[in-house]
Amino acid sequence: MFIFPGIGVLANVAGIIAGGITGTIFGDRIAERFKDTLLKTCALVTIFLGIGGTLKEMLVIDANGQLACARSEMMLVSLLVGAFIGECIDLEDRLESFGRYLRQKTGSNGDSRFVEGFVTASLTVCIGAMAVIGSIEDRLMADPSILFAKTALDCIIVFIMSATYGRGCIFSALSVGVFQGTIFLAAGLLAPVMTPQALSDLSYVGNILIFCVGVNILGITHIRVANLLPALVLATAWSWM
């Protein structure tokens, strides 16, 4: 395979489009009970990925050999301040507004779940350390392996979501392209900042947001996850404060 910087980002976008189109095509052929079960399974997988990733960063063995919670101050401040900033600029509403714009431009006004699918899929495939680390390595080391692995996961997740939410999920490829493309282009500036501790803090808070996305998919409640996204920036900057 011919490897060049950026192929990981392009593959991720293509994989999401492929999964979304396939899910949309076959969604009408899948019985509602199957789609409901698949979507709830997807939600459970997302929830437990978030829990597992969070506990991996949160739990440590202290000097007395006992299990303890680490960096709780970082988590608390990042989430609370991040939520305040996110609500002030209302990222969730902006993302939904863009979803409504896409729905209108694609002639999907009759699709009642277009915006929900776009927002949910976008948050699912954009949040997480894999997107950040993979984009940086794709640029600086021409190593797309992390983004290739992410592509496989995203393709399956977006396929399942598209079968239920419809073609709004396909356009989460735009969100990934902009998000990971920006990180890819800025990799030279970001690399010195993304220390092992910063990446660990990013993964810590990012996995909590992944858990929140899973809760939303399951329909337990609705958490305005997009308005928590500033917490990722604060968590990354925590080690430098």
* pLDDT (mean) for 187-191: 81
Predicted pLDDT at 82: 95
> 161-198 burial string, b = 16+ CB within 10 Å, else e?
bbbbbbbbbbbbbbbbbebbbebbeebeebeeebeeeb
240 vs 59, residue with greater confidence: 59
For residue 78, pLDDT beyond 80: yes
Run of H or E including 161: helix 145-165
Predicted pLDDT at 204: 92
For residue 89, pLDDT beyond 80: yes
Predicted pLDDT at 110: 87
* pLDDT (mean) for 62-80: 87
CA dihedral 182, 184, 187, 189 (to 10 degrees): -20
Predicted pLDDT at 196: 85
Q: What is the pLDDT of residues 23-55, one digit of tens each?
A: 999 888 888 888 889 888 888 988 998 899 899
In the chain, % of residues over pLDDT 70: 99
Distances from the Cα of 62 to the Cαs of 56, 65, 67, in angstroms? 15, 5, 6
Q: What is the pLDDT of residues 136-185, one digit of tens each?
A: 888 888 888 889 999 998 999 999 999 989 999 999 999 999 999 999 99
Predicted pLDDT at 118: 95
Q: How confident is the model at residue 1 (pLDDT cuts 50, 70, 90)?
A: low
Q: What is the pTM of this model?
A: 0.85
| Mean residue pLDDT across the chain | 89
Cβ atoms within 10 Å, residue 58: 17
